[in-house]
Amino acid sequence: MTYIKRAAEDTIIHTSEMFPVLLLTGPRQVGKTTLLRRIAEKQQSNGIHRKYVTLDDPDVRYLAKTDPALFLQRYTPPVLIDEIQYATELLPYIKMSVDNSGNKGDFWITGSQAFHLMQNVSESLAGRVGIINLLGLSDAEIHQEPSAPFQTNSDYLLKQLDLHKKRGLNDIYRRIFRGSMPALYADSNVDWETYYRSYVDTYLQRDIRDLTQVADEMQFYRFMTIVAAHTSKPLVYQELANAADISAPTAKKWLSLLVSSHIVALVQPYHNNALKRVVKAPLLHFLDTGLAAYLLKWGNPDSLERGAMSGAFFESYVFSEIYKSYLNAGKEPPIFYYRDKDQKEIDLLLYQDGTLFPIEIKKSASPGKTAIKNFDVLNPIQSKSNFDNLESLKTKIGTGSVICMANDLLPIDENNWYVPVWLI
């Protein structure tokens, strides 16, 4: 298989130099182990010879669970331990080891099930672990273009024009349909449908049944399909529950599994005291559009592009690209959205340095100025008169973007730009 250079490589190296333990977490099969082993190979030239062990091996797992101290005598640091969630008994012993040595980068660990793992990590390794989330391939990685956290300001966008190749509607929907899994790009012989069928089976049988005791795998599969059908929509648990024929508490629990295992992401609504009618429900996005397309039985990119969910998939694709651009740089994505009780919406909001940057997402090549009509709902946050002398709560509104299928980067007015989707 061809190795695809990952945008997070430098972030991982930098984080490993800061912390004694590095945790790389993310969904199954996004290339966590491949990436770390690749970096470990490069480190050998600097005299760092890192051992590798996977807890997928039943014998190794048994040793890790029953005698963690002996396990760490056998696999001394520097070491890469794969699938740490299968033997969290190791974590207190890793803590003792790094406290004794004081070395940075002694332990690299990976985990696919954050919902099972994070509590143990936070309790055992607080202050000692740098956590990086890795998702599927971004467009920048697929096309081996430079990657940086997305910004809306015109100086940043103009610089990006020379770094990205233009792509048309068919190219974009082939990418949306294919999804983000590295195996689908590293080996052209991998069949898309067979791959995702195997992926879902593995996820249900190992991550869901083994670790969370979901009694009915088929009912959970149906729930996943219903969640995929709600991508880019505000989250209403009762709607999901009714469609899946389960209770609302069960829907909430099951969705938390999908969020914690990085299958979906929830975008929180933006709140400000000056905005009185904001809806509090988060926005739901499926992070791998290829997996969503498989679950919903779309057969090819053309039918997806012409279908009823074309716009929803486009929105989730744009969100996931922006989301990954921050994760790959080791940053928490500063992403929100806006919706109020008058049904006015802004698809995404980036909040940075006391400034809010509105983003609208449109599949159209010529969205028109109506695409930014809802940006005005944010105006109250700029007026200090709305904050009862708490001027520190006043927020600036920065450059806005309409991410769309335009052929070029063009200004809409002095504050907003049409941004081609291939530029993100």
Tokens 């009915």 appear where?
216
Instruction: Say what the pLDDT of residue 126 is.
Output: 84
CA 299 to chain centre: 25
Characterise 361 by phi-psi region: left (phi > 0), alpha (psi -120 to 50), beta (else): beta
pTM of the model: 0.93
Instruction: Say what the pLDDT of residue 212 is.
Output: 61
Structure tokens belonging to residue 252: 């909430």
Instruction: Say what the pLDDT of residue 211 is.
Output: 55
Q: If 0-12 CB within 10 Å is exposed, 13-18 middle and 19+ buried, where does residue 95 land? A: buried
Q: Give, in degrees to the nearest 5, the angle at Cα 202 between 197 and 208.
A: 120
**Helix 248-260 and helix 217-229: axis angle, to 10°?**
80
282: Cβ contacts below 8 Å, ≥ 6 apart? 234, 235, 266, 267, 268, 269
Over the chain (424 residues), the average pLDDT of each successive run of 10 is 89 96 93 95 90 94 96 96 91 94 94 65 83 95 94 93 93 97 92 94 74 73 95 95 93 90 93 79 96 96 97 98 97 94 93 94 93 90 63 80 95 95 94
Instruction: Say what the pLDDT of residue 275 is.
Output: 76
